[in-house]
Amino acid sequence: MPSRPSPERGRIEVEVKNDNRSVRLLFCDSGPGIPEEIRSQIFEPFVTNRKEGTGLGLAIVKSLMEENGGEIRVVTGKGAKFELTFQLKDRPH
């Protein structure tokens, strides 16, 4: 996975997978991850564990993904990890 420094000296890794039916983007950071107690609610508006956060970012991303036929899910593991899946449309030959 390619990675780059984040502003707080952490790391963000991005992986892209294509199986000819869909494209999956996996984003992972080197932070503390998402607490188990809010993981099931993380895509709801105003849910956050960050003092300066509004809890709207992931709710907006989920809404945009669904409006465009995609999906987003949180993946368990080290750091915060999200998988975005975009379905590929059939292309005329």
Single-letter code of the amino acid located at 50: R
Residues 6+ apart with CB under 8 A from 82: 26, 27, 28, 72, 73, 74, 75
pLDDT of residue 85: 97
User: What is the per-residue pLDDT for 51?
Assistant: 87
Going from N- to C-terminal start, the domains of the chain cover 8-87
Topology of domain 8-87 in CATH is Heat Shock Protein 90 (3.30.565)
* Strand ranges, E, within the chain: 3-5, 11-18, 22-29, 71-74, 81-87
pTM of the model: 0.79
Q: What is the pLDDT of residue 59?
A: 97
Mean per-residue pLDDT pooled into runs of 10, the chain (93 residues): 58 94 95 90 92 93 95 91 91 58
